[in-house]
Chain A
Amino acid sequence: MINRRHFLSAAAPALALSGYPVHGFTKEPVKGRIVVIMLQGGMDGLLAVPPIGDDDLFKQRKALVASNPLKLNPLFGIHPNFKNFSKMLKSNEASIVHATSFPYTARSHFEGQNVSQTGSKIPFSTNTGWLGRAMDVAKITGKALSLDAPLLIRGAPAFDNFYPANIGKTQAPQSELLNLIKNTHDGEVMVAIDKLSQVSMNSPSRLRARDPLSLATKAGESMREINGPRVAVLTIPEFDDHSSIGSTTGHHPKLFTLLDNVFYQLRSALKEEWDNTIVLTTTEFGRTVQENGSAGTDHGFGSVGLLAGGLINKSSVVSNWPGLSSKDLYEKRDLFATIDYRSVCAACIEAAFKLDHDLIVDKVFKDKKITRIYEHIFR
């Protein structure tokens, strides 16, 4: 029998680099760099960036607010563990998008992670990732340097071998995980998970614990090079805190410190290339507004996106704040996502790869309803 703990053991800190300019193929390499930090498990956006100016925050969650958030403006504060990120906010190198999510509300990790990587509204409806497709459109080719290329950077089928899912003997369980779930997604989920478990446990390379800070340094150093990768994807797992999530200190705050240092390491390692870079976080969903009986929060909807990089010109919190009173919540329990996070991804692609918004929504996200939010983040 497989339990959740075993299932989640398939997730470990990881790094994938892609989009190396290929000599003779790439005419003029794209200048911009995109780093995606995938926060797996669902980050609690209200704990990271609490809306301290909204009285309902303190009515809805009493214990789960840091005692000393740093005040950003009358409405928003930020968890005190984001010290480096706060400095970047102060020096106009970072921004926050709040009450946002990928368009997915069914609260399953597997589906949510798939949607956050494919950018498609329907889970498991495509084999390619939004970033991979964006690289195709921007004609950024080149092999992925990765133990296991995440779905996010896999391109269109015709170019698939540019972003190989497996490099001999190095496959990690994640790709198997997604494939298996995809192939057996007709109700027999338990069977699938069982198979998945066997694969991840018997794989010769099985779980690797990797250190996100080292990976961030490695990513930054590689991307700094002229012919270095234009894209990096970092994974930080463990955000799924159903119990003892923490407030001022605790497990989520510990992860905030880690994430904060990942931003710092990327900035230090990228050096002058930081000016051409945008780093953005993604997470499959936010968490419930109220705490559960185990001092944690459960799978929710709206969360927060953290962005940093020299491509940002003026820091701000971008949010069509929906409010936190019970009537304002999604299904009376989750922060509403009033911004489709795919807009944010599209803006980052526009900023780094210099692609037109209409082209991005047409070719990358294939959904013309995605609103342009470039002006709010990069101007």
Chain B
Amino acid sequence: MIEIKLRIALFLMLMVFSTQIQAEENILCLQKFLAKTVFNPGPSDGVWGKKTETAINQLISQANNFESPYVKKSDAKNVCKMLQGNQALKLLEIGQFKRFPIEILADIGEIKSVTDFDFSKITISNDINYNCKFVILHSKGFKRASGKVNIDNGKLVFKNHIWQVGLASEGSQRFLTEEANLRVTQNGLRGIMPHLSYVDEGEVAKPIQYITLGKNYIKVAKSSTFEAGILGSNNYIDSFGNTYTFKILDCSEKFNRTKKSMDKKLLCLQNSFTDKGMGEVLSILGLELLSKAFIKDHKNLKDKSDLIKIGLNPNAVNKNEKHLLKLVNHEGSNFLFCRKLKG
């Protein structure tokens, strides 16, 4: 009886012992594998210490793009099996370099776009529409940039434009096109303009600069004509002491059929008729009718009969047919429109 008890006890002891050996072997298997990687498990002693736990977790986490469950001592058997299986080579490769996950918690902060530029305190009226050209000249005479710019319902829109960089570049080099993005709002003109400074022969190229134009560079009084308001230039000096001139030139007003713009045309029309002595034949009412038809659809005003249809006095139309048709077929700016009437 005693013998049986002893046998059972011995058997149980062996069971526990062999399980322990098994466990140690599993840990040793992990440690030996980790020793071939950059993850240091400490000495290969078969003991599950903090170093071993950290190292195996780093490897497994990295192998799973940082999305894996935490490996505990009790997982050693399964992990060891994995390290000996067909994933062994891949895991060994992964274990050659450490990856540190990105955990950005702080606010990255506002990114100032390269096309975002503060022209605050510049006033420009927002009821004008012009097609213009612009040029930026270096004080030594070299053209820094040129192109087309439209002033479009309160926005300054840069169309095709070319930035020359360096001295040798040609105007046609599309390499050098840079999208500047300027806009005019009620609070002022905003946008950013990149530029390079002038580089003398033998000088080291300087990094790109972002310019702030002087606050009075375009000043438009509310009632000004576009010549006074838009055409202008402004000098600015970059941080390397180079002086540049920014100019907007050759503006032509777009043909605009808003109420405001039409009132302007109407005024020119009235003045013109008064000048030419036609005021008598075309009444104020007639002018208003003409204006309204213009706004609605001036393209339908093709001949004499169309003008009579909208309610103009047939006698007046007959008498001034040539002038009136010239007028209704006009496609240019208000400025040209008014000048044409005068001519």
Contact = CB atoms under 8 A, between A and B. Distances in A.
Interface of A: 5-6, 8-9, 11-13, 15, 70-73, 75-76, 80, 83-84, 86-87, 89-90, 92, 201, 205-215, 217-218, 237-238, 254-255, 258, 261, 264-265, 313-321, 339, 371-373, 375-376, 379
B90 A209 contact: no
9 contacts: A9-B205, A11-B205, A72-B104, A73-B101, A201-B201, A207-B202, A210-B175, A214-B176, A379-B65
Interface of B: 38, 62, 65-66, 90, 93-94, 96-106, 108-109, 111, 114, 163, 165-169, 174-179, 194, 196-197, 199, 201-208
A264 B174 CA distance: 20
A265 B194 CA distance: 13
Contacts of A87: 108, 111
A85 B90 CA distance: 30
Given A217-B179, A317-B102, A372-B93, 11 more contacts: A73-B103, A201-B202, A207-B166, A211-B208, A213-B208, A214-B178, A237-B205, A238-B205, A315-B102, A316-B102, A339-B97
Given A15-B175, A209-B199, A214-B177, A321 B207 contact: no
A89 B166 contact: no
- Among B90, B103, B108, B109, chain A packs the most CB atoms within 10 A around the CB of B108
Contacts of A207: 166, 199, 201-203, 205
Contact of A314 (B65, B97, B98, B177): B65
A83 B108 contact: yes
Contacts of B179: 217
Contact of A76 (B96, B100, B105): B100
A192 to B, nearest CB: 18
A119 B102 CA distance: 29
B205 A13 contact: yes
A128 B65 CA distance: 36
A316 B101 contact: yes
A320 B109 contact: no
B99 A214 contact: no
Contacts, number: 148
B102 A214 contact: no
Given A207-B205, A214-B177, A376-B99, A70 B168 contact: no
A375 B94 contact: yes
A70 B106 contact: yes
Contacts of A84: 111
Given A83-B108, A211-B176, A214-B177, A9 B102 contact: no
A76 B99 CA distance: 11
Contacts of B203: 9, 207
Contacts of B96: 371, 373
Nearest to A76: B100
A313 B101 CA distance: 12
A264 B114 contact: yes
Contact of B205 (A76, A209, A255): A209
A255 B169 CA distance: 24
- Among A209, A215, A313, A318, chain B packs the most CB atoms within 10 A around the CB of A209
A86 B104 CA distance: 8
Nearest to A98: B100
**10 tightest A-B CB contacts, nearest first:** A208-B166, A209-B166, A209-B205, A316-B99, A209-B199, A317-B100, A315-B102, A83-B111, A12-B205, A314-B65
A210 B166 CA distance: 6
Contacts of A255: 207
Contacts of B166: 12, 207-210
Contact of A90 (B65, B108, B111): B108
Contacts of B101: 73, 315-316
Given A201-B201, A319-B98, A86 B175 contact: no
Nearest to A374: B93
A169 B335 CA distance: 48
- Among B90, B102, B106, B199, chain A packs the most CB atoms within 10 A around the CB of B102
Contacts of A217: 177-179
Given A15-B175, A72-B102, A211-B165, A206 B201 contact: yes
A185 B169 CA distance: 33
Nearest to B201: A206
Contact of A210 (B90, B103, B165): B165
A128 B72 CA distance: 51
Contacts of A254: 207
B165 A9 contact: no
B144 to A, nearest CB: 11
Contact of B105 (A71, A205, A258): A71
A256 B249 CA distance: 37
B104 A314 contact: no
Given A210-B165, A210-B166, A210-B175, A89 B104 contact: yes
A375 B98 CA distance: 11
A341 B207 CA distance: 27
A211 B104 contact: no
Nearest to A78: B104
A358 to B, nearest CB: 13
A124 B163 CA distance: 37
Contact of B66 (A8, A314, A373): A314
B97 A214 contact: no
A343 to B, nearest CB: 8
A215 B100 CA distance: 33
A205 B168 contact: yes
B174 A209 contact: no
Contacts of B167: 208
Contacts of A214: 163, 165, 175-178, 194
A73 B204 contact: no
Nearest to A201: B202
Nearest to A214: B178
Contacts of A218: 174-175, 177
Contacts of A315: 101-102
Nearest to A372: B93
B102 A89 contact: yes
Given A215-B175, A238-B204, A318 B98 contact: yes
Nearest to B203: A9
B278 to A, nearest CB: 56
Contacts of A321: 98
